Amino acid sequence: MKMFVKTGDTVVVLSGNDKGKQGKVLEVSPSEGKVIVEGIHVVTKHVKPRKMGDQGGIVKVEGAIYADKVQVVCPSCKKPTRVAHKAVVADNGKKRSIRVCKHCGEEL
């Protein structure tokens, strides 16, 4: 699956319990089409102490959510946007595709 989000992107959640919340993408899983976003879809996990003196107990971790439930927030205009692609010619003369904001056209 082709992913439009990248690690480090700020995204907004479009549906579900975390609708409207924003967070930074911590992990992208193209094979599942899922992303893990900081502070989003936090689930509690019970952890057993692994060694002596270890606390164990309950920890909160971010669960993966479907990438199509999030939209990238443009760092330039701060609006959630669909990702557009634009071909640009780099300094070395090679063409490459960059991700741009549909609102302001700035590179994401």
**Least distance (Å) between residue 36 CB and Zn ion:** 24
Evaluate the CA torsion angle 78, 79, 85, 87 in order and state its sign: negative
Site string for Zn ion, 84-103 (x = CB under 5 A): -----------------x-x
Pick the binder of Zn ion from 76, 83, 84, 99 (CB under 5 A). 76
**Least distance (Å) between residue 106 CB and Zn ion:** 5
Task: Count Cα neighbours of 54 within 13 Å in the Cβ-side half-sphere.
Answer: 10
Residue 45 or 82: the one with the smaller Cβ distance to Zn ion is: 82
**Least distance (Å) between residue 73 CB and Zn ion:** 9
Distance separating alpha carbons of residues 48 and 52, to the nearest angstrom: 11
CB 5, CB 32: distance < 8 Å: no
| List of residues contacting Zn ion (CB under 5 A) | 74, 76-77, 101, 103-104
